[in-house]
Amino acid sequence: MPIPWFITRLTGITDTMVADAPRFADVAPEFLDFIGDSILVAHNSGFDMTFLNHEISQVFGEYRLANPCLCTVKLSRKLLPDIENHKLKTVAEHYSIDLTNHHRAGADAYATAHIFVNLLAKLAEGGVNDLGAVRRMGSRRNSYVR
């Protein structure tokens, strides 16, 4: 499907750039194999999981990911309340993480991973060392784990 103009404007990614990319249906089995039952980490995981589950439903009908997913946006809001905002670029700058090619999968994944490592260290300082402890930090309404 064509990339909406506002996404092209935001990311700089054009239809031409993805014309030869494989369809999700062609890579879905390998992707699901790769993630297995791992805990997923994403910056704004609600968006990413909704998007992934939509695409998965196009291939596998009613199947949805059941993997726990940690959201670095929600964690940064809790652990870094004094920064200007919690956009990926802002949190990356807070931790002096390079995000030169923002809105590109590799660069954004790299930044998210390094942000997560920093947030893990901050969680550990507070005695939070496992997924159960992260779950207990939030309320039902403001869960850090999906």
Catalytic annotation, pick one of 43, 86, 102, 103: 103
103 a catalytic residue = yes
d(CA 135, CA 98): 29
Exposed (0-12), middle (13-18) or buried (19+): which is 92, by Cβ within 10 Å? buried
DSSP-derived letter for residue 22 is P
Neighbours of 25 (CB within 10 A): 12
Residue ranges of the alpha helices (H) in 23-104? 24-35, 45-60, 72-79, 88-94
**Type of residue found at 103:** H
* Catalytic (active-site) positions: 103
